Structure 1
């Protein structure tokens, strides 16, 4: 069974996680049976490991980690792969795939460009 982990950096302000919950709810609105959880690198819970553990507890045997980052950097390129490896070691038979950062996807870039053009009308 497939699961989705929405991976983010984390922040001290709890409101920072609200977009992750909105994304999660949008996924569930499309597919109510989807297994989708957030997982944060630091400062917030659930942690990456806790998010993975929750998905596995719900029956996930394959997890796609979706980095909710504008671009790949140290956290996506250096911190994330070892976290995925550790999770696969903890959960025998679990397969984790790492998606590119959401900000690198063409539809997301187009939506950001559209937003930038329309957020404040030119006069």
Structure 2
């Protein structure tokens, strides 16, 4: 059985299987840093699993709290409109689980700084 804490990485999705590689690399890195957490990837469209499926698997694995982390650079329509509806559906489907939502990773100062450093790097 998995841990009681879940982290769901939520990304857009693409038909190109290579597109998933960085998302899954983030998931692996989280597992390395915190082996007690359940970590999964979920996608808005074009790729399985979707958010409801990944959340249900996490809850079935024993998660009592799930943090949804949007791997988006900005707060577009998907995060403003689609994700809040999906989150409400999760809360309705799993009332005993505490679902929380982080802001888009692209809005985090650490990531903004890292992207700027990468852009400025020589080589």
If the TM-score is normalised by the length of the shorter chain, which range does it land in? over 0.9
Structure 1 counterpart of 2:106: 103
Structure 1 counterpart of 2:83: 80
Q: In structure 1, what is the Cα distance between the partners aligned to 2:60 and 2:96?
A: 14
Q: Report deviation, 1:112.
A: 0.3
Structure 2 counterpart of 1:27: 30
- Does 2:70 correspond to 1:67? yes
Secondary structure in 2 matching 1:10? coil
Report the TM-score when normalising by structure 2: 0.93
Report the TM-score when normalising by structure 1: 0.93
Q: In structure 1, what is the Cα distance between the partners aligned to 2:118 and 2:57?
A: 34
Residue correspondences, number: 120
- Does 2:74 correspond to 1:50? no
Root-mean-square deviation (CA, aligned residues, Å) is 1.0
Q: In structure 2, what is the Cα distance between the partners aligned to 1:62 and 1:32?
A: 16
Structure 2 counterpart of 1:91: 94
Q: Report deviation, 1:32.
A: 1.4
Q: Report deviation, 1:92.
A: 2.4
- Does 2:8 correspond to 1:5? yes
